[in-house]
Amino acid sequence: MTTLADRMEIKKGIAVSPGISIAKSLIIDAEDYRIPRRSIMPSQQDAEVERLKNAFKSAVDELTGLMSTQDQAQGGKIKDIFAVHLRFLHDRGLQKKITDLIRSESVIAEYAVSAVLREVASHFSKVKDAYISERAADIYDIERRLLKLLLGKKREDVRYLTEEVVVVARELSPTQTAGFDRRFVKGLATDAGGRTSHTAIVARSLGIPAVVALEDFTEVVDADSIVIVDGNRGIVIVNPDEQTVRQYERYARDFAELTHRLDAIKEDPPVTRDGVRITLLGNIEFPEEAQMVLEKGGDGIGLYRTEFLYLNRDTEPTEEEHYLAYAEVVDALGGRPVIIRTMDLGADKFTQSKRLAPEPNPFLGLRSIRFCLQNLAMFKTQLRAILRASVKGDVRVMFPLITNLQELKQARFLLRDVMEDLDDESIKYNKDIRVGIMIETPSAALTASTLARDVDFFSIGTNDLTQYTLAVDRGNELVSTLYSPADPAVLRLIRGVIGDAHKAQIDVGICGEIASDPEFIMLLLGMGFRTVSLAPPMLPEIKQVIRSVTVEQCNHLAREVLKMNSERQISAYLRNAARKILPEAF
């Protein structure tokens, strides 16, 4: 059994969150299990082998039990799969191989199980016969089953960190990242993902560097190795040599200094050189981040994502839990606007677990507002809490993924319903609460003039709008180069929405990741945005750019860009313009 050589390896991916971090790797697989390569004393080997034997026995018992509960009619196929797993577990060579590894390298059972089974799986997947190569998936399943039994109660996962780590995974889901503790998670590196994947968004909110689309990083890095994440250049280095470490420590210091200098302009208002005041808001995913928005000089919260309330739990959140989360942020913001977005979950464990059969195309399926409109009790709970919190400050409610007027009307109807309930119960709320929607689908963008008549504001969600307009999955690393909000088609749609909003005299803001990119802010201002909401760590830099330009310049730039036909041309033009304004930041 060969172990990976401790060679330094440099991998290139997409930089999605700036900064430098040097820490130990923590590899998460889909089940959140950490696979530590821990050594044991020779005297502990017998105990470890015994643990392994027990885990095998329990796994066999589990599978036998599962098989007996599957009746032939429905579960015939599933029964066969369990039969195969059982057969594998009984294979005389397997347990011996793992036991041998425990003894020869003096490592814990979990590591040996993982190492041996992954090697077996990789041999299977190389066989030409499709039926056999698919058995690799069964091997991974057995690995998970054994690891679950071994790790049992003392699960070493992301929630029990005691030292700084760089989290490495194939990709990261909202469920997994909800547990991240900023004190210990210092960087992210994933195989999959793109500029607006969940990994990117979380990293930016936490203010830690992240590199995605590394393709096969999880295969190259060993557990507990030293990893450098360069979120500025999109590079990850595993097992760096001394010289590289020193070099990066220097970069890290320089970068910290630049951040510091930007923090100094915290008190200065985001006003352009020709006196136009821009409203700078922050996107947050958790109540704790509200503080950071204020620290970085934001004027309020432009997007309060509420999904965290539904994740990592078995039951729906109560009205009180909703209310406390909203009240906390509203209090912290002291009168500054807080735009709360109703539940936008989809293609996630929460909505999928309620289904009898998983949706084949969850991103286009029953998610977000659609899910809410079919789960009225749950939706009303959230609306009640938002309304109750609205007496504490400037709370605004925003509905995501609206695709047509009907949906909007239904949502507003429900809101009125909830208001009447509160009236009956003599519970106070802001009767004039402002209601807005996210424009993030082509249909909404194209019919914005109709929708504008029924709302108080729009917020353009460029992440999803770009995805749906260009028909590109923003989390798919294979097409991540096709995804760009600077695409002429997307810009044209955005321009249309802004025009419709202005005609209807309603506010239109932008809250996609594009707003946190300094290269785009001039274009956004030039297109007519006066409200932008972005990831808090980037607030100072965006403010810096705003304070360095005139709206005149921005208008000119936008006019030029909107004449262009290619995304590449547009990106290059914007990059050049940005460099001229803020040479040291680019």
Partner 1 sequence: MRTGKGSVEKLVCEAEVEIKNADGLHMRPAMQFVDVANRFSSDVTVAAGDNIADGKSIMQMSMLAATCGTRLKIKAEGSDAQKVVGALRELVEEKMFGEPPRR
Strand partners, 187: 166
Task: Beginning with the edge strand found earlier in the chain, give each strand of the sheet holding 9-12 in spatial order.
Answer: 9-12, 235-238, 226-230, 20-28, 165-169, 185-190, 210-212, 14-17
CA angle 235, 216, 147 (to 5 degrees): 120
Shortest distance, CB of residue 75 to partner 1, whole angstroms?
A: 17
The residue (of 94 and 383) whose beta carbon lies closer to partner 1 is 94
Amino acid at 381: T
The residue (of 10 and 127) whose beta carbon lies closer to partner 1 is 127
Binding mask 40-79 for partner 1 (x = CB under 8 A): ----------------------------------------
The residue (of 55 and 574) whose beta carbon lies closer to partner 1 is 55
Shortest distance, CB of residue 87 to partner 1, whole angstroms?
A: 5
Shortest distance, CB of residue 30 to partner 1, whole angstroms?
A: 23
The residue (of 128 and 153) whose beta carbon lies closer to partner 1 is 128
Alpha-carbon gap, residue 180 to 157, rounded angstroms: 10
In 3D space, the residue among 354, 362, 504 whose CA is nearest the CA of residue 437 turns out to be 504
DSSP 350: H
Instruction: Return the residue matching tokens 């026995």.
Output: 57
End-to-end CA distance of the chain: 47
By the rule CB under 8 A, 162 interacts with partner 1: no
Instruction: Return the residue matching tokens 């191989």.
Output: 97
Shortest distance, CB of residue 71 to partner 1, whole angstroms?
A: 20
Do 422 and 454 contact (CB within 8 A), yes or no?
Answer: no
The one among 41, 43, 71, 129 contacting partner 1 by CB under 8 A: 129
By the rule CB under 8 A, 92 interacts with partner 1: yes
The one among 84, 324, 373, 446 contacting partner 1 by CB under 8 A: 84
Q: How many residues bind partner 1 (CB under 8 A)?
A: 18
The one among 7, 71, 93, 432 contacting partner 1 by CB under 8 A: 93
Torsion of CA 119, 121, 125, 130, to 10 degrees: 150
Shortest distance, CB of residue 245 to partner 1, whole angstroms?
A: 42
By the rule CB under 8 A, 120 interacts with partner 1: yes
- Residue 422 structure tokens: 């509160």
By the rule CB under 8 A, 378 interacts with partner 1: no
By the rule CB under 8 A, 354 interacts with partner 1: no
The residue (of 87 and 250) whose beta carbon lies closer to partner 1 is 87
Strands 235-238 and 9-12: antiparallel
By the rule CB under 8 A, 228 interacts with partner 1: no
Instruction: Return the residue matching tokens 């985001």.
Output: 270
Q: Which stretch binds partner 1 (CB under 8 A): 118-126, 199-207, 485-493, 537-545?
A: 118-126
Element at 165 (helix H, strand E): strand 165-169
- What's the Cα-to-Cα distance from 139 to each of 114, 120, 129, rounded to whole Å? 10, 7, 16
Cβ-based neighbours of 520, under 8 Å, separated by 6 or more: 485, 486, 514, 574
By the rule CB under 8 A, 123 interacts with partner 1: yes
In 3D space, the residue among 45, 477, 8, 49 whose CA is nearest the CA of residue 222 turns out to be 8
- Examine the residue annotation and report whether 511 is marked as an active-site residue of this protein: yes
Out of 198, 322, 372, 554, the active site residue is 198
The one among 61, 91, 249, 263 contacting partner 1 by CB under 8 A: 91
Instruction: Return the residue matching tokens 């972005």.
Output: 534
Q: Which stretch binds partner 1 (CB under 8 A): 86-94, 98-106, 188-196, 495-503?
A: 86-94
DSSP 583: G
The one among 11, 34, 51, 135 contacting partner 1 by CB under 8 A: 135
Shortest distance, CB of residue 148 to partner 1, whole angstroms?
A: 21
The one among 132, 427, 478, 489 contacting partner 1 by CB under 8 A: 132
Shortest distance, CB of residue 189 to partner 1, whole angstroms?
A: 32
Out of 85, 322, 372, 511, the active site residue is 511
Strand partners, 304: 284, 340
Q: Which stretch binds partner 1 (CB under 8 A): 127-135, 181-189, 223-231, 310-318?
A: 127-135
Alpha-carbon gap, residue 486 to 490, rounded angstroms: 7
By the rule CB under 8 A, 94 interacts with partner 1: yes
- Residue 405 structure tokens: 């007027």
- Examine the residue annotation and report whether 198 is marked as an active-site residue of this protein: yes
The residue (of 126 and 559) whose beta carbon lies closer to partner 1 is 126
DSSP 434: E
- Residues tagged active-site: 198, 511
Interface positions with partner 1 (CB under 8 A): 83-84, 87-88, 90-94, 120, 123-124, 127-129, 131-132, 135
